[in-house]
Amino acid sequence: MSSSATEHHNADHYHRVIILGSGPAGLTAALYAARADLAPLVLEGNQPGGQLTITTDVENYPGFPEGILGPELMDRMREQARRFGTKVKFEAAVEVDFEKRPFAIRTDETTYRCDALIVATGATAKLDGIPGEQELMGYGVSACATCDGFFFRDKEIVVIGGGDSAMEEATYLTKFASKVTVIHRRRELRASKIMQDRAFANPKIAWIWDSVVAEIAGTREGGVTGVKLHNKRTELDSFYPTQGVFYAIGHQPNTAIFKGKLEMNDVGYIKVQEPTTKTSVHGVFAAGDAMDPIYRQAVTSAGTGCRAAIDAERWLQELHD
Judged by CB, which is closer to ligand NAP: 20, or 180? 180
CB of 28 to ligand NAP, least distance (A): 24
Please confirm, yes or no, whether 306 is among the known catalytic residues: no
What DSSP element (H or E) covers 285?
Answer: strand 284-286
Instruction: Kindly name the residue from 114, 115, 147, 311 that is annotated as catalytic.
Output: 147
Give the count of beta carbons closer than 10 Å to the beta carbon of residue 253: 24
- Cα separation of 43 and 11, whole Å? 15
> Binding mask 77-116 vs ligand NAP (x if CB under 6 A, - otherwise)?
----------------------------------------
- From the number of C-beta atoms within 10 Å of its C-beta (0-12, 13-18, 19+), residue 106 rates as middle
Query: Which residue among the candidates 114, 115, 148, 311 is catalytic per the annotation?
Result: 148
**Of residues 20 and 145, the one with the C-beta less far from ligand NAP:** 145
Q: Which of 284, 288, 321 is nearest to 304 (CA)?
A: 288
* Footprint on residues 29-48 left by ligand NAP (CB under 6 A): none
With CA atoms as reference, report the closest residue to 306 among 146, 120, 147, 123: 120
Annotated catalytic residue 148? yes
Cβ count within 10 A of residue 149 = 21
What does DSSP assign to residue 152?
Answer: G
Q: Let me know: does 285 contact 311? Beta carbons within 8 Å.
A: yes
Helix, strand or coil, per DSSP, at residue 92: coil
Instruction: Report the site for ligand NAP in 248-287 (rule: CB under 6 A).
Output: 249-250
**How far is Cα 174 from Cα 276, in angstroms, rounded to an integer?**
36
Specify the residue, 162 or 303, whose C-beta has the smaller distance to ligand NAP: 162
Distance in Å, CB of 260 to ligand NAP, minimum: 22
CA separation for the pair 297, 294 (Å, rounded): 9
Lay out the site mask for ligand NAP across 161-200 (x = CB under 6 A, - = otherwise): xxxxxx-x----------------xx---x----------
Shortest reach from residue 293's CB to ligand NAP, in Å: 5
The least distance separating ligand NAP from the CB of residue 192, rounded to whole angstroms, comes to: 6
Q: Which positions are catalytic? A: 144, 147-148
Residues that bind ligand NAP (CB under 6 A): 128, 160-166, 168, 185-186, 190, 212, 249-250, 293
